Amino acid sequence: MATEIIRHGIVAGIDGSDGAVEAAQWAASAAERFEEPLRLVHVLPKHPESRGRAPAGEARHDFRAEAEALLAAAERALRDGRADVEIERSIVDGPPARVLIDLSRTARMIVLGPAATSEMKSVYAGSDVVRVSNHAECPVVVWRGIQGHEVSGNRPIVVGVDGSELSDMAVSHAFEFASFFGAPLVAVHTWAEHSTFGAWYSEARRFMDWTDLVQHEEAWLAESLAGWCEQYPDVEVTRCLERGGPMKVLLEYSFGAQLIAVGSHGRSPFTASFIGSTSQSLIHHARCPVLVCRKG
């Protein structure tokens, strides 16, 4: 029998960029709500100069001193009003993505700055953020949005629902977050004629009763959420059926959300429209933090 992993703590990557500090501020707010410790992690790659951080040959201890200063500054920025949050600072050697994926094996959550950060200013390149979100064994939050966008019960948590296993995981985490944050939940399911019928679309559009199809999709969405609504009776849920592609629809929803949750990949074109390209588009362009879930 496999041993169940007990996940504990929230890990926030600190690289010296403003985006990473803003992500860590969001992580600190989440740690306070979840009553979890927060671990601020700075990764020292084997060759820091390869990312434009210093001239080749500079003593490595200078990089470590810089890392310690970055972590200390980040902790000071987080402490205001959060005296009860347990904060640990760590410096880890290795490839950034690999280090964070390793930490995800026991963490409750990984929180990273925006994927668009320049490699010249950041240890964590955009490709590292994408790699971690696609391969981490715990949920990954990629911070997006405006400065000071912290946990707030005034804005909803949005989750993309498509029936895939990873979408179900996103729904599970979205309900959990909504309950802890005291936020309403908006569950979004998209559909489009061409994705529903594939190669048969041109024929199907001649005789299909689209009203029946919409009613069927609405009933399916309600049934998909029924169990979670029973488990989290404190969460106010709004079901939204939207005609269109998931990428465009969810990007629009991100403007008014405090968090948007998706699976890292869908299951198939016919039953899972929230495919990997959607999650990657969101972590680059969403206007709020993005929670990416995958099966660990």
- Specify the pTM: 0.84
Contacts of 91 (CB under 8 A, 6+ apart): 41, 42, 43, 44, 64, 67, 68, 71
CB–CB of 101/23 below 8 Å? no
- Spatial strand order of the sheet with 259-263 comes to 87-93, 38-44, 10-13, 109-112, 140-142, 290-293, 259-263, 157-160, 185-191, 237-243
- Radius of gyration, alpha carbons of the chain: 20
Pair of tokens at residue 274 = 């929230």
Q: Which of 279, 296, 253 is nearest to 115 (CA)?
A: 279
pLDDT tens for the chain, 296 residues: list them.
Answer: 455 667 899 999 999 888 999 999 999 999 999 999 999 999 998 765 555 555 555 555 688 999 999 999 999 999 887 878 999 999 999 999 999 999 999 999 999 998 754 443 445 556 889 899 989 999 999 998 765 555 666 899 999 998 888 899 999 999 999 999 999 999 999 977 555 545 454 555 555 565 777 888 899 999 999 999 999 999 999 999 998 889 999 999 999 999 999 998 644 443 344 445 788 889 999 999 999 998 75
Pair of tokens at residue 233 = 């009776």
Q: Which of 44, 261, 89 is nearest to 159 (CA)?
A: 261
Pair of tokens at residue 202 = 């041109």
**Residue 121 pLDDT:** 45
What are the DSSP E strand ranges found in 130-213? Answer: 140-142, 157-160, 185-191
What ranges do the domains of the chain cover? 10-142, 157-293
Q: How far apart are CA 164 and CA 61, in angstroms?
A: 47
Q: Domain 10-142 falls in which CATH fold?
A: Rossmann fold (3.40.50)
Q: What is the CATH number of domain 157-293?
A: 3.40.50.12370
Phi, psi (deg, nearest 5) at residue 269 = -60, -25
Provide the pairing of β-strand 10-13 with 140-142.
Answer: unpaired
Beta-bridge mates of residue 158? 186, 260
Shared fold status for 10-142 and 157-293: yes
Conformational region of residue 81, where left means phi above 0, alpha means psi within -120 to 50, and beta covers everything else: left
